[in-house]
Amino acid sequence: MLTYRQEPPPAHLAPWVECTWTLDGIAEAAMETILPDGRMELIVHDASRPKHQAESFVTGQLTAPLHLFPTGPMATRGVRLRPAAAGAFLGLPADELTGRFETLSIPFQVKLPDAAITHAVSLIEQSAGAVRMDQLTRAVNLSPRQFDRRFLAAVGLPPKAFARVIRFQAVLAAYRNDDFPRWADLALDCGFYDQAHLANEFRHFAGAPPTAFFRDPSALALLMANLSKTPPPRRTYHRDLCDF
């Protein structure tokens, strides 16, 4: 059984670090899944490590599910970076690491996060990914081109792609907080065009249709999903086991 613990960061690292975490125990499945959550992380394996992973590394933004194959008991430590602070903390454009796992040296002095992009990320998360891009550019007083360039360098994803990840996380939050949803209602509440749109997006990020995923979810996928930052839609759903 895996045990996941999360702690707030030290005060002097709070502008860049969202939390620190540990993962200990033995995975019960031969394959575990990590889902995209809009965060970059620093990872250290103190015991056995999954196949094809180094002892310590930086994870770039995920744009699809990551499948892990444990090789034994785990004792893993992580530092989860705030979305808008990743590039500033690591000292390079965050999009250079998207979809990659690299060993990096952290600069002795790090820059402060981009205040405009920090505000934009907050607006995206508060809206569960539903805010329009023109609303964001007006809110931070940047042209669309400036906004896209600075967002990509700070976060590692274009703003629309980041909003898609946060909207996907809102679906996970609804599942964890409100019982199994009626998918057609949830799709509209989360800003999808319709139920088919939700199904396609979920399949892209989780690797399976929603009901198939939730019928037998990866323990690690739910343990480490970024549910604390993404609010579920404000309504109660009812059990609907109709598959996509």
Give 48-75 pLDDT, tens digit per residue.
999 989 999 999 999 999 999 999 999 9
C-alpha span between 181 and 169 (Å, rounded): 14
User: Model-level pTM?
Assistant: 0.88
Q: What DSSP string runs through 47-79?
A: S---TT--SEEEE---SS-EEE---S-EEEEEE
Alpha-helical regions (H) of the chain? 86-90, 115-126, 133-140, 144-155, 159-178, 183-189, 195-206, 210-215, 219-223
**Letter string b/e over residues 116-153, b meaning 16 or more CB atoms within 10 A of that residue's CB:** bbbebbeebbebbbbbebeebbeebebeeeebbebbbb
- Answer whether residue 216 shows pLDDT above 80: no
Q: What is the pLDDT of residue 239?
A: 38
Give the rounded percent of residues in the chain with a pLDDT score beyond 90: 64
Q: How many residues make up the chain in this entry?
A: 244
Q: What is the pLDDT of residue 191?
A: 85
CA proximity to 176, closest of 150, 213, 203, 137 = 213
- Answer whether residue 198 shows pLDDT above 70: yes
Whether domain 2-102 has CATH 2.60.120: the reply is yes
C-alpha span between 139 and 156 (Å, rounded): 20
Q: What is the pLDDT of residue 19?
A: 96
Q: What is the pLDDT of residue 181?
A: 57
Token digits for 20? 């620190």
Q: What is the pLDDT of residue 243?
A: 42
- Answer whether residue 224 shows pLDDT above 90: no
Q: What is the pLDDT of residue 174?
A: 82
- Answer whether residue 39 shows pLDDT above 80: yes
Q: How confident is the model at residue 241 (pLDDT cuts 50, 70, 90)?
A: very low
| Cβ count within 10 A of residue 173 | 21
CA proximity to 7, closest of 90, 80, 110, 94 = 80
* DSSP code of residue 96: G
